[in-house]
Amino acid sequence: MDEPQPAPQPRLLTPIALRGLTARNRIAIAPMLQYSGRDGLPTDWHLVHLGRLALGGAGIVFTEAIAVEERGRITHGDLGLWHDGQIAALRRIAAFVRAHGAVPAVQLAHAGRKAGTQRPWEGHGPLGEADRARGEPPWPPIGASPIPAAPGRPIPVEMSAADIATVKEAWRTAALRALEAGFEAVEVHGAHGYLLHSFLSPLSNTRTDAYGGDFAGRARLPLEVAETVRAVWPKDRPLFYRVSAVDEGGWTIEETVAFARALGERGVDVIDCSSGSLFDSSTANVRLKRSFGFQVPFAERVRRETGLMTMAVGLIVDPHQAEAILREDRADLIAIGREALADPQWPLRAEAELTGREAFGSWPVQHGWWLERRARIFAQMRAEGVAAP
């Protein structure tokens, strides 16, 4: 009689190699803006916020978008790496994340024409005189072309050749600071209507120079930024790039596939497939019809047609849903965001659900020690017929 075969290890829980780095599982915490920094510096809020997500068992924990320039902030509450004084506070966070088994990852960004915005709970509109009166003045945004992000938003200053050179240098130095801060993976934010996405889409880029016009011209700055970051990021550490795979009519999935191929040629390892928000204030307002896993087809197509690794994101809320995406070879990594805010232990709960056992050995020992003993007590109570409350 044949011996029963052990159940296969869930794909979601298997380690994944990213260049010389190995993440303990295929769950990433997506970048989520907290709008709670001070002068570009993280506070204890960020340490606790990102720290508890590392304790929850994720393989990779991304910071929120970190501005490469002061004028590249979305709000006054954004974090930054535009000067060396911002390294130490982020180093503390990266060290904590790493110490608890997750890969500390950083997302570098420039808001472009969406800069100078109120925090969401303060209105999410452009900064104005009332904001100035409380010590948060507006500043002029820059962009590919003088086209505002939305009606009533400031018209951005069209970037000159000197501005473009300055921004590329800002990405280079921010990547070096991220490296010094101890981050092991980096993502270039090229989505959601921020600076790089605004160059890609003809709806926001009407330039007639080498950085506009056809696909090659519009893709030039985003590709140069990817090259710039890859040149200073260690060869044994991965580079991610976040795309809006489609936007509000200016950019198509076919163009994303072509763009992803070009990114791969420049050393990008993972394409993080989001969508939309070219003209919206945030990803909370994506205009695509929402459904569970609604952006997964973008990750699947990019992966299939380019051979690059992809990360799927967008209303992935259930461990079995995430496992199916990976087993069907639709993506290589699963990113969760707001679901992790609702349940910071989602990766650990996924392990229990997918394996059918409470695996408290995977929990931080300070928690698992107690929970294992609680589970024994519960089992004994059930055996004795103690009714549930």
Report the alpha-carbon distance of residue 214 to residue 228 in Å, rounded: 22
Rounded (10°) CA dihedral 377, 379, 383, 384: 20
Q: Are 262 and 219 in contact (CB under 8 A)?
A: yes
Encoded tokens for 44: 């204890």
Q: What's the Cα-to-Cα distance from 311 to each of 51, 81, 157, 294, 302, rounded to whole Å? A: 22, 25, 33, 13, 10
Helix (H) or strand (E) holding 368: helix 365-383
- Phi, psi dihedral angles at 234 (to 5 degrees): -55, 145
Task: Say how many C-beta atoms besides its own lie within 10 A of residue 359's C-beta.
Answer: 15
Task: Say how many C-beta atoms besides its own lie within 10 A of residue 338's C-beta.
Answer: 12
Q: What is the CA radius of gyration of the chain?
A: 22
List the catalytic residues.
194
Encoded tokens for 297: 């087809």
Helix (H) or strand (E) holding 362: none
